[in-house]
Amino acid sequence: MTGGFLRRSLTLLRRGIAASPRAFAVAIAASALWGGATVAAGWLLGRITDGVIVPALTGDGVADRDIWLAGGALLIVGLVTAACVALRRVYAGIAAFDVQADHRRRVSRAYLELPMAWHRRHPTGALLSHASADAEAAGEVFVPLPLAIGVAVMLVMAAGAMLAADVWLGVIGIAVLPAVLVANAVYRRAMTPAVSRAQAERAHVADVAHASFEAASVVKTLGTAAHEVALFRDATEQLRDANTRVGRIRSVFDPVLDAIPAFATLLVLVVGAEGVHVGRVAAGGVVTAAYLLSVMTFPVRAIGFVLGDLPRSLVGHARIAGVLDAPREPDIQPDTVADPVSEAVPTRRDPVDVPSASRPRGARPRGARPRGARLELRGVGLRVPGPAGPLDLVRDVTLAVPSGARVAVVGPTGSGKSTLLDLVGRLTPATSGVVQLDGEDVRAIPRTRLARDVAYVAQEAFVFDDTVRENVTLSAPGDAPVPDALVWDALRRAHVDDVVRALPLGLDSPLGERGTTLSGGQRQRLAIARALLRRPRLLLLDDATSALDPVVERAILAELATFDGAPDQHGAHDGGPTVLMAAYRPATIAQADVVVHLEAGAVVDVGTVAELLARDAGFEALLTAYDRDRS
């Protein structure tokens, strides 16, 4: 959101009101009616003063009917005012919370849509701050907004009533609003940078706390608790100082707002008394003006609340906008995808063919259709900005992987193994080249279908604080329940079913935060079961079996060759998925049909383990180093 303060403020208010139009409409209408009723009460007091109180004091006499009419009119106005206040408060609260909820929903949705490359550039603490503190700050201005609009209506009507009583009294009443605006201009100039710093410090505190919590085991085992406490103390002290400065600035602004109506009321009494003395104005007019200005003391602060909260809300919304406006990789239509051969990479070499399995991987039933996707990469690369210029993390990778093949991607640390898997799964968009599944560009595949066809299992298996069943199915509210037989089948294929059966409640056993009740290898197997339940056509394993012993690892990889034991959603039996795995252990590499050797993001050689050992000195050195490290 760009532009000047006024433009950004109007944009923020317009978007917020659009998030809950009905609630805002009721709250604003009730507030405007409250402002009119307040002015009507002041006008009635003036008429009652001239028609009832003054005659009674001067001895002219007052009819009982006039007294009852005056009391009844004040009662009706009071009831209307009370009803309007109740409606305004209820619906203003609903509207404000709707705005904050809308901000959180939009930010959370953006987090899910943004690529992994974006997430890796932003600390988790900052993301938590955007979805909590910044979303709350961006919605704070909407709490007093309906009241401020009602006050604005009241000021206009009050100025008209005071002008009708006396020109000078009207001028005093009209001058209240400009005085508030001038005070706010000074306040905003001092408050905006202070609020910006406070919001940034709040995100820093969240980031430091999150890092300490995530690394709790490291902190405990290495005895660095004192260091972490010092880091958190420094961060919280900086946040305290920033919030203290915000409080100091506001502590000056609030009394100024209180003083403006009070000073105007005093001025009305002085000018009005002189006007009554010379006969220029009736006593009722002075009472009306003094009453209206006296009851404005708090309502005028509502305008100050809005103007005072605007800088904080604009800062919060600007930080949210950094997430909402972050560039996404757009879904493109199939007819707009360039032909990868003729346009995308006209100078690339032909794809290196990855051979199919050279040895049986479990008999496939007769007539079974292949489930694995045919994967093809043509000139795929990823270029990112670096301190000394652009860096190529992946360069000109060209491969053709047949359906059902198992491919191990090997290479030294930093060679681009995990990055290549990210590009294949579209977790990170490639900056050059084309990735195809069964001849279809992954950019043209809808994300829902891509998520169903491609499963990604990372080395660090994340386990939710939920039951085994929910961790495997990841079902959303309203989804059709997954049959337990399919859940058990996925657990069996991942060789973790015996672990789950040993739990007190089986599939309904809670696993604790991040799966604290499971070992590292058990968490990895649970993550593999989560992927297998979806029966993917392409399975990406980013060193996802590193915590398993070779026997279990070999058994799990053998299970991937066929899904003939579990029919898919259409009742068909078929073969296993195509597997692309980043690997470093010889036991894992030995399970692959073919090996892709990467160095510095580029393909060095492709072939079986025996072929690469015979002709690729780098691969031989790498595998020897793995064996040496293992021993």
Q: What percent of the chain has pLDDT over 70?
A: 81
Helix (H) or strand (E) holding 434: strand 432-437
586 φ, ψ (degrees, to nearest 5): -55, -35
Query: Are 375 and 586 contacting, i.e. CB atoms less than 8 angstroms apart?
Result: no
Q: Which residues pair with 437 in a beta bridge?
A: 375, 440
Question: What digits encode the pLDDT tens for the residues 402-449?
Answer: 888 889 999 888 888 888 988 888 888 888 899 998 888 888 888 888
For 585-608, what is the mean pLDDT? 87
User: What pLDDT band is residue 332 in, cutting at 50, 70 and 90?
Assistant: very low
Task: Count CB-CB contacts under 10 A for residue 390.
Answer: 9
**Distances from the Cα of 372 to the Cαs of 437, 438, 463, 563, in angstroms?**
10, 9, 27, 11
Nearest Cα to 558, choosing from 579, 584, 537?
579
Lowest mean pLDDT segment, chosen from 233-247, 332-346, 359-373: 332-346
Res 135 pLDDT > 60: yes
CATH topology of domain 351-362+370-474+482-630: Rossmann fold (3.40.50)
Please report the pLDDT score of residue 231 as a whole number: 83
Please report the pLDDT score of residue 409 as a whole number: 92
DSSP state of 215: T
The segment with the largest mean pLDDT, out of 286-300, 337-351, 372-386, is 372-386
Question: What digits encode the pLDDT tens for the residues 384-406?
Answer: 887 887 888 889 899 988 888 88
User: What pLDDT band is residue 333 in, cutting at 50, 70 and 90?
Assistant: very low
| CA dihedral over 597, 603, 608, 613, signed as positive or negative | negative
Res 233 pLDDT > 60: yes
The more confidently predicted of residues 337 and 351 is 351
User: What pLDDT band is residue 2 in, cutting at 50, 70 and 90?
Assistant: low
CATH topology of domain 5-194+247-323: ABC transporter transmembrane region fold (1.20.1560)
Lowest mean pLDDT segment, chosen from 126-140, 299-313, 612-626: 299-313
Residue 322 CB contacts under 8 Å (≥ 6 apart), including other chains: 130
Please report the pLDDT score of residue 477 as a whole number: 60
Query: Are 172 and 261 contacting, i.e. CB atoms less than 8 angstroms apart?
Result: no
Query: Are 23 and 94 contacting, i.e. CB atoms less than 8 angstroms apart?
Result: yes
For 319-324, what is the mean pLDDT? 76
The residue behind tokens 């953006």 is 110
> In angstroms, rounded to a whole number, what is the distance separating the alpha carbons of residues 597 and 433?
19
User: What pLDDT band is residue 565 in, cutting at 50, 70 and 90?
Assistant: very low
Largest CA distance in the chain: 123
Whether the full predicted model's pTM is greater than 0.95, yes or no, is: no
Res 599 pLDDT > 80: yes
DSSP state of 52: I
DSSP state of 340: I
Q: Tell me what the pLDDT averaged over the chain comes to.
A: 77
Res 357 pLDDT > 50: no
Question: What digits encode the pLDDT tens for the residues 542-553?
Answer: 888 777 777 887
Nearest Cα to 214, choosing from 130, 147, 128, 329?
128
Please report the pLDDT score of residue 597 as a whole number: 92
Res 590 pLDDT > 80: yes
Same fold, 5-194+247-323 and 351-362+370-474+482-630: no
Domain spans of the chain? 5-194+247-323, 351-362+370-474+482-630
Res 20 pLDDT > 60: yes
Buried/exposed code over 617-630 (b: 16+ C-beta within 10 A; e: otherwise): eebeebbeebeeee
Res 460 pLDDT > 70: yes
> In angstroms, rounded to a whole number, what is the distance separating the alpha carbons of residues 139 and 28?
16
User: Can you spell out the DSSP letters for 473-488?
Assistant: H-PPTTPPPPPHHHHH
Res 349 pLDDT > 50: no
Written as six digits, the tokens of 623 are: 């595998």
**Distances from the Cα of 234 to the Cαs of 229, 248, 341, in angstroms?**
9, 21, 57
Nearest Cα to 515, choosing from 533, 501, 503?
503
Written as six digits, the tokens of 181 are: 């605006």
Coil, helix or strand at residue 597 = strand
The more confidently predicted of residues 173 and 91 is 91
